[in-house]
Amino acid sequence: MSQKKTAITPTRQENFADWYQEVIKAADLAEHSVTRGCMIIKPLGYALWENIQKILDQMIKDTGHENVYFPLLIPLSFLQKEAEHVEGFAKECAVVTHYRLESDGKGGLIPSPEAKLAEPYVIRPTSETIIGDAMASWIHSYKDLPVKINQWANVMRWEMRTRLFLRTSEFLWQEGHTAHASQEEAAEETLDMLDIYEKLATEYLAIPVIKGEKSPAERFPGAVNTYCIEAMMQDGKALQAGTSHFLGQHFSKAHNITFTDKEQQNQLAWTTSWGVSTRLIGALILTHSDDDGLVIPPRIAPTHVILIPVILNDADREKIMTYCDELTHDLKRISYHEGSIRVSIDTKDYRAGVKFWTAVKKGVPVRIEVGCREIDNNALSVSRRDKPAQEKQLLSRDTILSEISSTLDNIQQTLLERATKWRDEKTQEINSLTALETFFEKENNGFAICHFDIESEHEPIVEEKFKAMKLSVRCIPWNQQDTAISKPCIFSGKPINTRVIIARAY
Amino acid sequence: MSQKKTAITPTRQENFADWYQEVIKAADLAEHSVTRGCMIIKPLGYALWENIQKILDQMIKDTGHENVYFPLLIPLSFLQKEAEHVEGFAKECAVVTHYRLESDGKGGLIPSPEAKLAEPYVIRPTSETIIGDAMASWIHSYKDLPVKINQWANVMRWEMRTRLFLRTSEFLWQEGHTAHASQEEAAEETLDMLDIYEKLATEYLAIPVIKGEKSPAERFPGAVNTYCIEAMMQDGKALQAGTSHFLGQHFSKAHNITFTDKEQQNQLAWTTSWGVSTRLIGALILTHSDDDGLVIPPRIAPTHVILIPVILNDADREKIMTYCDELTHDLKRISYHEGSIRVSIDTKDYRAGVKFWTAVKKGVPVRIEVGCREIDNNALSVSRRDKPAQEKQLLSRDTILSEISSTLDNIQQTLLERATKWRDEKTQEINSLTALETFFEKENNGFAICHFDIESEHEPIVEEKFKAMKLSVRCIPWNQQDTAISKPCIFSGKPINTRVIIARAY
């Protein structure tokens, strides 16, 4: 039996990790840079990020948050103010120690010894400390609350093993930071933002996610509770796609964020923080792409429809290009979701076949081939990225115009359903340690739903087993909680009514 | 004669530099941060930047450029590759020397000696080097050209004396970088982008600018030609609002950006770079604001119209708020420029007078006061930010709705005309060194249009005089070139047909 030829080598089956890199390369999304662990985000990759930004930014603003910008550099002493926070981040910071270079006398440059900083700065790994310090000076009375701000920024966490989009030393993200007069209001904010992340993931990125709370071992350094949206990739591994933290009064204490309440009493504020990053692009790739390359859900796609002129004779060029221009014009006037159809024509000087496969590898939702025969017969060749590449439909121009919007909706829906089905099939209730071992041997990967005593997460037997099997508790999912049923913890056998997701993770 | 009371103290007349700081504070645009020389951009300041981004980003994309993102950190050795470039930037770079912190044993943190980088990184002061390096690997054939990319990013140049927006160690900007097959095409790109900056400044920010070329002393380190848009602030000083550089083959040589041309010959590419920054917000403030605070040109204003409910009795609250909601609804449906009217209601728990002055200080173009009397008489009190604060017009609801769009256009136009008139009045043709000295003594500040031999810019007599008078050549303006007339250089007396703008600058 002959192997089906694919645009990406290796296939997912052959080598998932290498397939991921090849999809990125074939779609020209990003590449490794000379700067250790950092990436260059190329036009298509950045366009995906811009679309994510646009959608999420509107949701953040619609819920009463305002954008701001804080300094990149954080004084070293700030990191020391919140004890757990420093533990979690100190080990992986880029440190600025000098503010000037000078000649080394041999034609090179060195940091000038005379320009050594009295107190070094770290490049922000996250901004709770510097924002907490500012909030302390902004907030005086309950009338100043809540403060609800957000910034789009670059951050840096020195990573030893990096993978494009998934784990890089520098990455782009948004970080929201809020302060409230009451615990209830801050807790509500934390969960409201998690809902927004869920909406972004499911309705736009077509990535089904499970909302839940992180176990103590996976909590953000300094948080009281960390909530997350957890997704399953096509290799059955978990990927944390967004987090929202209820910080209690930890950072308020560290930075002295206090206010006078209505009874003239001095109170500590309650704070939250929440973020998603360019990692979402990694999640997008790992959820939808196939052995022919990237697959972009229409709602996030920079281009919805690409027209591929098929010019066999130079004499036909004008006729075909005019037709393409007119079709583009008409398509652009059709509304789709919160805007209109985004169309482009591939005018590059390559054969139609090459252009066809470029569009496939770049994940454009709908491809339309336009040649003389197609024009004359009023039957254009239309193919969808959610179907096999060679599967084409011959459609009249009018049919295309009347159906394109619903076709895009249908592709969006199909991608979400496919990913949900995949995840659900790879998710299993596991009731014993033996079954857990079997599950991760046989199935290789997936989500194991287990009764588990999260208080025992740090006990040697648990830690060792998890380490050996490369597993971790991904979250305590809300959709899996059934507090009526208490079952034995898979490790201790102790009756417990907490169910968690155990999986291998990115 | 009693002094007129102003919302900002001191006034422009009393102390221009302090007035600037107070305008920023009163409008809550930004503040100094704990990080040396860096600012916190607050919601209104950031909203102005977002509006600038939105407008300029579209113009950049419409001219065929694509957004990308390059690493924040640049290997030290890269700076050394272009000799002039290193001279210009080396002295003011933040240097990353370590990638981890560790405990100092006394409860503090220090850069871990074991985590010292073999080669330090600098935080990008600009990205020609790292982008040039990537372009060298992307470009092989003439078919790969042109490469036209842009990034929105933070950059850092260590500054000793900083002023909010005008000069900060970290600032936000966009930097465009392009590579072309021919000198002509690169030169055209450089000037096309200058035209876009001029359009942004005049049509949106209502800042009249003079396009011109920088003299050699003010050229970007590594550029063949630097072009700029130069504006005059209300104190008569010059402010460089944007620059576009023709880099020739300097960076191509340094980074080996070569391509095979149609004749199969190996060629060096021709490159350009261009940028504007958050400094534009400083220019906006210094151009339009008055002794009552910020004045925002409508096309860039986050809020076009603010409704101020005047509630004298609590019983009237519902009636007034319902009226405001309905008026908001109707105003938002009116189109203005490339969108629709942006309206907000000041619902804060302060007296109407306080809200009125807050709106003045924050520069909202149109204020509408809504109280019971105004509603009953169908005569709302409307005031415009380009007119004295207390000047109010009583207008019917229908009149407001039918005229608001043209009123905003009129404010935009008035601001541009006022700034242009101011600049032209403070600009004078100067034909001798004595006249130059008199001009900058008497007039204090302004633009002196002089015949000047730019080759003599570095001669001791010129350098000393410029230094003593704090003057510099701002640009060789195109609108002032009259090559038919050759006149004596104001320094050397040598006949020259180059006219330049000499001024004090920000």
Q: What is the 3-state secondary structure (H, E, C) of A170-224?
A: EEEEEEEEEEECCHHHHHHHHHHHHHHHHHHHHHHCCCCCEEEECCHHHCCCCCC
pLDDT, mean over chain B: 95
Q: Give the integer Cα–Cα distance in Å for A410 and A268.
A: 50
Predicted confidence (pLDDT) at residue A1 exceeds the cutoff of 50: no
Give the model confidence (pLDDT) of B105-118 as tens digits: 887 889 999 999 99
Average pLDDT over residues A360-366: 98
Average pLDDT over residues B4-16: 94
Residue environment code for A381-406, b if the CB has 16+ CB neighbours within 10 A, otherwise e:
bbbbbbeebeebeebebeebbeebbe
Q: Give the integer Cα–Cα distance in Å for B23 and B163.
A: 13
Predicted confidence (pLDDT) at residue A152 exceeds the cutoff of 50: yes
| Selection from B93, B181, B111, B81 nearest residue B141 by Cα | B181
Number of C-beta neighbours around residue A478 at 10 A: 13
Of the candidate ranges A461-475, B367-381, B441-455, the one whose mean pLDDT is the lowest:
B441-455
Name the band, by pLDDT with cuts 50, 70 and 90, for residue B483: low
Number of C-beta neighbours around residue A262 at 10 A: 9
Name the band, by pLDDT with cuts 50, 70 and 90, for residue B89: low
Nearest by CB to A40, from B98, B111, B134: name it.
B134
Query: How many residues in chain A?
Result: 506
Predicted confidence (pLDDT) at residue A339 exceeds the cutoff of 70: yes
Across the interface, whether the CB atoms of B41 and A99 are under 8 A apart is answered: no
Q: Give the integer Cα–Cα distance in Å for A197 and A195.
A: 5
Q: Give the integer Cα–Cα distance in Å for A74 and B36.
A: 10
Across the interface, whether the CB atoms of A154 and B156 are under 8 A apart is answered: no
Name the band, by pLDDT with cuts 50, 70 and 90, for residue B349: confident
Smallest CA–CA separation between A56 and chain B, in Å? Answer: 15
Whole-number Cα distances in Å, A222 to A156, A255, A271, B57, B197: 18, 13, 11, 38, 45
Residue entry with tokens 């004779």: A313
Residue B1: predicted pLDDT: 42
Residue A484: predicted pLDDT: 66
Nearest by CB to A100, from B77, B91, B97: name it.
B91
Long-range contacts (CB closer than 8 Å, 24 or more residues apart) made by A253-256:
A254/A81, A254/A82, A254/A85, A254/A129, A254/A132, A255/A81, A255/A129, A255/A132, A255/A133, A255/A135, A255/A136, A256/A136
Smallest CA–CA separation between A424 and chain B, in Å? Answer: 36
CA-nearest residue to B133 within chain A is A34
Across the interface, whether the CB atoms of B73 and A40 are under 8 A apart is answered: no
CA-nearest residue to B80 within chain A is A108
Name the band, by pLDDT with cuts 50, 70 and 90, for residue A106: confident
Best A34, A133, A171 member to test B by mutation, with max B CBs in 10 Å, is A34
Nearest by CB to A158, from B91, B99, B156: name it.
B99
Question: By three-state DSSP, how is residue A280 classified?
Answer: helix
CA-nearest residue to B349 within chain A is A143
pLDDT, mean over chain A: 95
Q: Give the integer Cα–Cα distance in Å for A294 and A176.
A: 30
Percent of chain B whose predicted confidence (pLDDT) is above 70:
97
| Selection from A171, A145, A149 nearest residue A158 by Cα | A171
Show residues of chain A in contact with B108, CB under 8 Å: 77, 80
Average pLDDT over residues B380-407: 97
Residue environment code for B398-432, b if the CB has 16+ CB neighbours within 10 A, otherwise e:
eebbeebbebbeebbeebbebbeebbeebbeebee
| Selection from A49, A75, A287 nearest residue A152 by Cα | A49
Is residue B412 a contact partner of residue B394, using CB atoms and an 8 Å limit?
A: no
Residue B105: predicted pLDDT: 81
Give the model confidence (pLDDT) of A130-139 as tens digits: 999 999 999 9
CA-nearest residue to A81 within chain B is B108
Average pLDDT over residues A338-367: 95
Smallest CA–CA separation between B499 and chain A, in Å? Answer: 37
Name the band, by pLDDT with cuts 50, 70 and 90, for residue A291: very high
Query: How many residues in chain B?
Result: 506
Predicted confidence (pLDDT) at residue B183 exceeds the cutoff of 90: yes
Show residues of chain B in contact with A46, CB under 8 Å: 66-69
Across the interface, whether the CB atoms of B121 and A154 are under 8 A apart is answered: no
Residues 6+ apart with CB under 8 A from A98: A111, A112, A115, A116, A117, B94, B95, B97, B120
Q: How many CB pairs under 8 A join A and B?
A: 188
Average pLDDT over residues B150-175: 96
| Selection from B284, B256, B279, B288 nearest residue B269 by Cα | B256
Residue A91: predicted pLDDT: 76
Long-range contacts (CB closer than 8 Å, 24 or more residues apart) made by A182-188:
A182/A270, A183/A248, A183/A270, A185/A146, A185/A270, A186/A246, A186/A247, A186/A248, A186/A270, A186/A271, A186/A272, A187/A246, A187/A270
Of the candidate ranges B168-172, B458-462, B480-484, the one whose mean pLDDT is the lowest:
B480-484
DSSP B347-370: -SSS-HHHHHHHHHHTT-SEEEEE
* Burial of residue A261 (number of CB atoms within 10 Å: 0-12, 13-18, 19+): middle
8-state DSSP, B5: P
Q: Peptide bond before B221: cis, by omega within 30 degrees of 0?
A: no
Count the helices and strands in chain A (H runs, E runs).
Answer: 14, 29
Of the candidate ranges A225-234, B167-176, B201-210, B215-224, the one whose mean pLDDT is the lowest:
B215-224
Q: Give the integer Cα–Cα distance in Å for B9 and A254.
A: 36
Would the CA dihedral through B133, B134, B140, B146 be positive or negative?
Answer: negative
Show residues of chain B in contact with A111, CB under 8 Å: 95, 97, 120
Show residues of chain B in contact with A50, CB under 8 Å: 67
Predicted confidence (pLDDT) at residue A502 exceeds the cutoff of 80: yes
CA-nearest residue to B156 within chain A is A72
Nearest by CB to B170, from A72, A86, A102: name it.
A72
Predicted confidence (pLDDT) at residue B239 exceeds the cutoff of 50: yes
* Burial of residue B229 (number of CB atoms within 10 Å: 0-12, 13-18, 19+): buried
Q: How far is CA A318 from its chain centroid?
A: 43
Predicted confidence (pLDDT) at residue A280 exceeds the cutoff of 60: yes
Q: And the tokens for B120?
A: 């330090």
Smallest CA–CA separation between B352 and chain A, in Å? Answer: 17
Residue B3: predicted pLDDT: 61
Average pLDDT over residues A366-375: 97
User: What single-letter amino acid sits at B47?
Assistant: A
Predicted confidence (pLDDT) at residue A88 exceeds the cutoff of 80: no
Give the model confidence (pLDDT) of B19-67 as tens digits: 999 999 999 999 999 999 999 999 999 999 999 999 999 999 999 999 9
